[in-house]
Structure 1
Amino acid sequence: MSLLDSTDKIISERLADSKGDVIPLGNRAPRNFLKSAAILLIGIIFVLLVWWITSEYYNTYMIKTLRFPTPGETFDTLWYYLDSTHKLLRYTLYEHVAASMERWIKGFVLAFIIGMTLGILMGINDKIYKFGSVPVNILQMIPGLAWFPVTILLFGFGDKSAIFIIAVTVISPIAFNVAAGLRRVPQVNLRVARMSGRTRFETLTEVLLPFSLIDIIGGLRIGMANSWRMLIAAEMVVGVAVGLGYAINQTTNMTDYPAAFAGIVIICVIGLVIDKLIFANVEKYARNKLGMEESS
Structure 2
Amino acid sequence: MSVNFPDPATTFERLWKFLSTNYKILGASIYTHLTASLGRWFQGFLTAFAIGMVLGTVLGSNERLYQFGIVPVNVLQLIPGLAWYPVTILLFGFGEDSAIFIIAITAISPIAINIANGFRRVPKVNMRVARMSGRSRLETFTEVLIPFSALDILAGLRIGMANGWRMLITAEMIVGVAVGLGYAIQTTTAYLDYPAAFASIVLICVIGLLIDKVILAPMESYVRRKVGAEGA
Partner of 1:106: 43
Read off the aligned partner of 1:143 and give its amino acid letter.
P
Q: In the alignment, is residue 134 of structure 1 matched against residue 71 of structure 2? A: yes
Q: Deviation at 1:83? A: 3.4
Read off the aligned partner of 2:148 and give its amino acid letter.
F
**Correspondence for 1:168 among 105, 108, 112:** 105
Give every structure 1 segment of 4 or more consecutive aligned residues whose post-TM-superposition deviation is greater than 6 Å.
none
**Correspondence for 1:263 among 173, 195, 200:** 200
Partner of 1:198: 135
Alignment of 1:144-155 (within 5 A): 144-155=81-92
Partner of 1:51: none
**Length, aligned pairs only:** 232
Question: What is the rounded CA distance, in whole Å, between the counterparts of 2:86 and 2:184 in structure 1?
Answer: 22
Give SS of 2:24's match. coil
Partner of 1:182: 119
**Correspondence for 1:123 among 60, 69, 72:** 60
Q: In percent, how many aligned pairs have the same letter?
A: 64
Q: Deviation at 1:85? A: 2.0
Q: Deviation at 1:291? A: 1.0
Q: Deviation at 1:137? A: 1.3
Question: What is the rounded CA distance, in whole Å, between the counterparts of 1:78 and 1:84 in structure 2?
Answer: 10
The unaligned stretches of length 5 or more in structure 1 are 1-63
Question: What is the rounded CA distance, in whole Å, between the counterparts of 2:146 and 2:116 in structure 1?
Answer: 10
Deviations 1:211-236 (A, max 9, x none): 00000000000000000000000000
**Correspondence for 1:86 among 2, 20, 23:** 23
Q: Deviation at 1:184? A: 0.4
Could you state the TM-score of these two structures normalised by the residue count of structure 2? 0.98
Aligned alpha-carbon RMSD (Å): 1.0
Instruction: Assess if the C-alpha contact under 8 Å between 1:84 and 1:94 holds in 2.
Output: no
Partner of 1:41: none
Structure whose CA Rg is larger? 1
Q: In the alignment, is residue 279 of structure 1 matched against residue 216 of structure 2? A: yes
Question: What is the rounded CA distance, in whole Å, between the counterparts of 1:116 and 1:84 in structure 2?
Answer: 42
Q: Deviation at 1:84? A: 4.3
Question: What is the rounded CA distance, in whole Å, between the counterparts of 2:169 and 2:22 in structure 1?
Answer: 24
Read off the aligned partner of 1:78 and give its amino acid letter.
L
Which fold has the larger relative contact order, with Cα–Cα distance below 8 Å and residues 6 or more apart in sequence? Answer: 2
